[in-house]
């Protein structure tokens, strides 16, 4: 397995873990379960940075993409009736 394919695999694993965290948050699971999932993601990201597989900017971009996929855009236009108020 080449280092590029293993990097792609690791980043795919991170994406799956992030989707799981965002899904758990949306479902309103118990705090302990959500905190544990966050801890796994944080640790995984730390390993990716410490081993030089990915840098912070790359990981932040992945988090932003996955968050967008689950939550939609961070901002949206307001309906006219609300914007006028």
Task: Give the DSSP per-residue string, 22-64.
Answer: HHHHHHT--HHHHHHHHHHHHHHHHHHHHTTSS-HHHHHHHHH
Domain boundaries, the chain: 3-71
| 19 and 66 Cβ atoms separated by less than 8 Å | yes
Q: Model confidence over 28-72: pLDDT tens digits?
A: 899 999 999 999 999 999 999 999 999 999 999 999 999 998 888
Rounded to two decimals, the pTM is 0.79
Q: In this predicted model, which residue has the larger pLDDT, 62 or 5?
A: 62
Biggest alpha carbon–alpha carbon distance for the chain: 59
pLDDT band at residue 84 under the 50/70/90 scheme: low
């Amino acid at each position: 397995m080449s280092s590029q394919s293993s990097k792609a695999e690791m980043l795919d694993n991170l994406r799956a873990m992030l989707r799981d965290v965002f899904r758990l948050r949306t479902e309103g699971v118990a705090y302990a379960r959500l905190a544990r999932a966050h801890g796994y993601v944080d640790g995984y990201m730390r390993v990716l940075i410490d081993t030089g597989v990915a840098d912070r900017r790359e990981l932040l971009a992945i988090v932003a993409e996955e968050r967008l996929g689950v939550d939609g855009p961070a901002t949206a236009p307001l309906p006219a009736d609300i914007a006028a108020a």
